Amino acid sequence: QVQLVESGGGLVQPGGSLRLSCVASKSISIFYAMGWYRQAPGKQRELVATITSSGNTHYADSVKGRFTISRDNAKNTVYLQMNSLKPEDTAVFYCNASALRAWGIQEYWGQGTQVTVSS
């Protein structure tokens, strides 16, 4: 079993920055992709950004140019640098990891970290 632990959330003013971290209990090289999702109150969970094992990245249109996803395999950690934060970024952010198995794709989720953007 793999555990994902997020950290770095908090309260920040509009225009501010936060960096989220997701530490995995095992080597992240076993995952073909890792990513960040978020869920705002009353809304469905949505994709924020993903990064593959080869370093290819993908971003939701709403965060392009403001957020950057990266990974440090040596530290088993994925990061999400968030700049120019807006009130609409307020949500619980979840780390996700996807592993290819013989039977399909197995996904792992962290417990989430709250990000609140407010003045």
pLDDT tens digit sequence for 71-91? 999 999 999 999 999 999 999
pLDDT tens for each residue of 19-67: 999 999 998 988 999 999 999 999 999 999 999 999 999 999 999 999 9
Task: Please tell me the distance from the alpha carbon of residue 10 to that of residue 31, in angstroms, as a whole number.
Answer: 27
Task: Please tell me the distance from the alpha carbon of residue 39 to that of residue 91, in angstroms, as a whole number.
Answer: 5
Task: Check residue 117 and give its pLDDT.
Answer: 98
Task: Check residue 38 and give its pLDDT.
Answer: 98
Task: Check residue 96 and give its pLDDT.
Answer: 97
Instruction: At 10, list the tokens.
Output: 């908090």
Q: Over 90: is that where the pLDDT of 114 sits?
A: yes
Task: Please tell me the distance from the alpha carbon of residue 20 to that of residue 30, in angstroms, as a whole number.
Answer: 21
φ and ψ of 88, to 5 deg: -75, -5
Mean per-residue pLDDT, 15-20: 98
Q: Over 90: is that where the pLDDT of 1 sits?
A: no
- Residue 36 CA, chain-centre distance (Å), reads 2
